Amino acid sequence: MHESITSALAEVGIVHPFTIQALAIPLALSGTDLIGQARTGTGKTLAFGVSLLHRMVTLSDGVKPAHGKPRALIVCPTRELALQVGRDLDVAGAHLKMRVLTIYGGTGYDEQLNTLESGIDIAVGTPGRLLDLADRGALDLSEIQVLVLDEADEMLDLGFLPDIERLLRKTPASRQTMLFSATMPAPILALARATLNKPINIRAEGHDAQMTVPDITQFVYQAHDLDKPEIVGRLLQGTDTTKVMIFCRTKRAAQRLTDELVDRGFPAAAIHGDLNQQARERALKKFRSGSVSVLVATDVAARGIDITGVSHVINYECPDNDAAYVHRIGRTGRAGNTGVAVTLVDWADLHRWKLINQALNLDLGELVETYSTSPHLFTDLGIPAGTKGRLPGTKDRSAERRAERIEKEERRRSGSAERSGEGGRRRRSRRSTEGAGDHPAEPAGEQPAKPRRRRRRTRAGVEVPKES
């Protein structure tokens, strides 16, 4: 490996490779296509990153890349992961003159277009924006020498497989291709067979290894939905709790929980699809720096996020399936560190959890009904006795929030009623004037009765005189 790369990694304390890196790097350096499978959080990024940088140095031979024509392409499922991969490449290539551009949506085009025009060595991006720039002619993939598909199973989950196939068709058949994934579902294997040239398969563990990270202590509790905020508030004050990621199913639930935790005095931030990219990046930056210690996220927004030092992951709502569970709890216990995962399962999700438990062979048994006052909650998670779900000295604003919601609802209803009344008055006004001419309308209830039409009695068509 190039000396500049090893020295740059040593400066940040990376001197020994993880298993997936030791297996993948020698093969990648030789130019072989490969499929790498390992659990989340085991160092897949550097497994392809350092070998890619080495090959770019040796293959470029000091020649500056042409405008809009990178030599290497890394495709990631999410913006956050693309940014993380870009940062890791910058760290490993700190002593190299490699130009890396991260390409993703949610931001303006100008900066990306200008950087492409000046020439880049490596493009890291999400499928949508990469295709957009390629279709515009700003990004030319005809000189790609190394292609990496990172977290391929997540790209499948997000529906990016057709976009990936389009991108692959824009690259030369002579390229080296590396595919990395935590799991290998059938569509990913089919893609690999169709696009990779005699790939070598590598796994960081045996075929019978558990999908979840063994250094994570897992607790699963049956909890009432209304009691969950109090449980989380107490858990956040555990003696070993430092940096926490909390997962919710929906954007609305994530934002509501974030607001609740902030009201309880906890420094919390949210990332979900309703936030623009700048807001999401600010939240991640605060979480990484430690200015906020709690990050509440949805599954999609948190895919691929690599943040060191996460002590706890809380599944505030039960994941949809076993793969989502693995991805969630993999945010802790990364890179050889230990971590704690806590899953709160309400009564409606018991069946879903049973399926996850069976699929992953967790063997956690029957769930214990747990409340914020349950003694085992305190002992399991190192919560000091007497801890409440709110930081000391924080004012309880729950009554104020309820009053605000009621007032907001009343204003909404009042506005709706006013609009309805105005509409009714307009409709009545139109009816009262139609066909009136110069005659005033009669007051309601005082209109003269219309004369009744007299019926004539007939028999066989002959009128019968009325009997007196």
For 194-245, give the secondary structure using H, E and C. HHCCCCEEEECCCCCCCCCCCCEEEEEEEECHHHHHHHHHHHCCCCCCCCEE
Question: For the segment 244-295, what is each residue's pLDDT rounded down to a tens digit?
Answer: 999 999 999 999 999 999 999 999 999 998 888 889 889 999 999 999 999 9
The two tokens of residue 265 are: 């005095």
pLDDT digits (tens, 9 = 90+) for 166-178: 999 999 999 999 9
Angle at 92 between CA 203 and CA 331, to 5 degrees: 55
Below-50 pLDDT ranges, the chain? 206-210, 424-449, 468
What pLDDT, on a 0 to 100 scale, did the predictor assign at position 86?
94
**In angstroms, rounded to a whole number, what is the distance separating the alpha carbons of residues 376 and 55?**
54
* 184 SS3 class: coil
The mean pLDDT of the chain is 84
Phi, psi of 250 (to 5 degrees): -120, 160
In this prediction, residue 40 carries a pLDDT of 66
The reported pLDDT for the residue numbered 367 is 92
For the stretch 107-159, pLDDT in tens is: 889 999 999 999 999 999 999 999 999 999 999 999 999 999 998 988 888 88
CA nearest neighbour of 103 among 117, 115, 88: 115
Please state, in angstroms and rounded to a whole number, the distance separating the CA atoms of residues 140 and 337: 41
- Tokens at residue 132, please? 């957009």
Domains detected in the chain: 3-203 (3.40.50.300), 216-400 (3.40.50.300)
Angstrom distance (rounded) from CA 421 to CA 423? 5
- pTM for the model: 0.68
Which pLDDT score, from 0 to 100, does residue 166 have? 95
Do 342 and 314 touch, CB atoms closer than 8 A? Answer: yes
Task: Determine contact, residues 31/74, Cβ cutoff 8 Å.
Answer: no
Q: So what's the pLDDT on residue 237?
A: 96
Q: Please tell me the predicted confidence (pLDDT) of residue 429.
A: 40
pLDDT reported for residue 301: 67
Q: What pLDDT was estimated at residue 304?
A: 65
Look at residue 74 in the predicted model and tell me its pLDDT. Answer: 97
C-alpha 412: how far from its chain's center?
A: 32
Which ranges of 93-126 would DSSP assign to H, the alpha helix?
Answer: 110-118
In this structure, are residues 79 and 68 in contact, taking their beta carbons and an 8 Å threshold?
Answer: no
Report pLDDT for 11.
Answer: 92
- Strand spans (E) along 310-404: 312-315, 339-345, 368-370
The distance from CA 218 to its chain's CA centroid, rounded to whole angstroms, is: 22
Regarding beta strands 200-203 and 34-37, do their DSSP bridges make them parallel or antiparallel, or are they unpaired? Answer: parallel
Phi-psi group of 31: left, alpha or beta (phi > 0 → left; psi -120 to 50 → alpha; rest → beta): left
